[in-house]
Amino acid sequence: MVRDDADDESIAAVSRTLYRQGMTDGLPVIPPTEERVEEMLRGTDTPDDAVIGRLGNDDNPITVAGLASNAVMAGCLPTHMPVLEAGVRALADPDSNSIQFSVSTGGWAYQWIVNGPVRGDVGIAGGTGAYGPNYRANRAIARALGIAYRNTAKIHPGEKDMGVMGNPFKFSLLLGEHEEASPWEPYHVTAGYDEGDSTISLSGPNSFVQWEPAAAEAEAVLRGMLANTPPAMVSGEQQGGDFDQTITYVLCPASIDLLADAGLSKRDVKRYVADNSAIPVDEFQKGVLWEGALEGYHGRVENAQVPQIRGPEYVRVVAGGGRTGRCDAVIGPSIGGPVTEPIDYPDGWSALVAEYGPTE
């Protein structure tokens, strides 16, 4: 029996209807009623019908109201809207390459990194368990941006979303950088923004690996980064030269302390992993790589080495996780971005934050 939910506005009925129409991620959604969308729009000064960006194969427009509808469905608060608007601008930036990594057979994820005061305003976590199923803002914002892309570009598994395996991180890979736990400049400052700015950054990786360094020593942290970066995580200039392929290391506060105490800067760490990333040519996995990556290596010397990471400019380092032990992670390779967008606040932001608060 197929239920007729035409006049039923319950969560169960609306979730079922929108799921049948391919507009959800399969989990229950909050019905995007006019009243709820109107409340969501308190989080922006941009007119409801303004087009934030164009996404997908046909450059379909996404309006502020359309984004707000997806935000309601995903469980967002009005205070999340400034982050979401900036996230859509990142998705619409051709340099993000979202048009490719959203649909590719490689099954890539939307990787979001949020920096600046907005993290505290809306409760975006960067400490213990930040990547886990724990924090409303992290989960809801990533989910909203994911289904907003799906519903705007109209991609569905087997129809314009051809990821062979799919990716469990696709709509959930969002971190507020743990800036307070790092003596190094934050991610967005490296990208050219002021420390007091709030930003969201996007890239498109397909894998996540984490490990515990073998010892509480700086050298062990560095060796752990090299040893746990699988051959599939190759970084450099992509074939064709349009995009860089990058990898992101997320280092916990304890590891950053060890590296910083050893006198290493973030740039030093990037250079170390690039300079020491040589692997046997037979283990090199091409991925989607720069033209002629192996020219000059094949057949020249048996067991010749090639760089897995072409240079420090293809490496990103982010502070993440809590002071609850020692564990680092690598995410990549990304075939899009990173692109970073500033987050702008509406008038009355402080009052809205006070009303909704980071723990609402």
Partner 1 sequence: MGLVTPSSTGNDTDQKPLTPRVDSLDGTHIGLYDNGKPAAEPLLTAVQEMLAERYPDATFEWYHVEHLNQIKNDEEQAAVTEWAEDVDVAIGAIGDCGSCTKFLTWGIEFIEDAGTPGVGLIDEGFELDYQSNAVERGRPLRYKKTPVRCETTDLERVRDEVTDDVLDGIIDELTRPLNDKERADPVAQ
Task: Using CB under 8 A, list all residues that contact partner 1.
Answer: 6-9, 14, 17-18, 21, 23, 31-34, 37, 55, 57-62, 65-66, 68-70, 72-73, 94, 97, 99-100, 103-105, 147-148, 151-154, 158-163, 238-243, 291
Tokens of 124: 């975006």
Q: Which is nearer to partner 1, 22 or 280 (CB)?
A: 22
Q: Which is nearer to partner 1, 159 or 261 (CB)?
A: 159
Question: What are residue 251's DSSP bridge partners?
Answer: 319
CB contact set of 316 (below 8 Å; sequence gap of 6+): 187, 203, 246, 247, 248, 249, 338
Q: How far is the CB of 340 from partner 1 (least distance, A)?
A: 21
Q: How far is the CB of 107 from partner 1 (least distance, A)?
A: 9
- One-letter amino acid at 216 equals A
Q: How far is the CB of 26 from partner 1 (least distance, A)?
A: 15
Question: Whole-angstrom Cα distance, residue 245 to residue 103?
Answer: 17
Question: Whole-angstrom Cα distance, residue 267 to residue 351?
Answer: 39
- Residue 250's closest CA among 318, 172, 188? 318
Residue pair 101/160 in contact (Cβ under 8 Å)? The answer is: no
Q: Which is nearer to partner 1, 9 or 283 (CB)?
A: 9
Q: How far is the CB of 263 from partner 1 (least distance, A)?
A: 41
Q: How far is the CB of 337 from partner 1 (least distance, A)?
A: 14
Q: Which is nearer to partner 1, 60 or 228 (CB)?
A: 60
Q: Which is nearer to partner 1, 32 or 321 (CB)?
A: 32
CB contact set of 102 (below 8 Å; sequence gap of 6+): 56, 108, 110, 149, 153, 155, 161, 204
Q: How far is the CB of 41 from partner 1 (least distance, A)?
A: 10
Q: How far is the CB of 293 from partner 1 (least distance, A)?
A: 13
Residue pair 128/252 in contact (Cβ under 8 Å)? The answer is: no
Q: Which is nearer to partner 1, 7 or 302 (CB)?
A: 7
3-state secondary structure of 288: coil
Question: Whole-angstrom Cα distance, residue 209 to residue 218?
Answer: 19
DSSP type of residue 229? S
Query: Position of tokens 């690996």?
Result: 209
Tokens of 219: 């050298």
Q: Which is nearer to partner 1, 157 or 357 (CB)?
A: 157
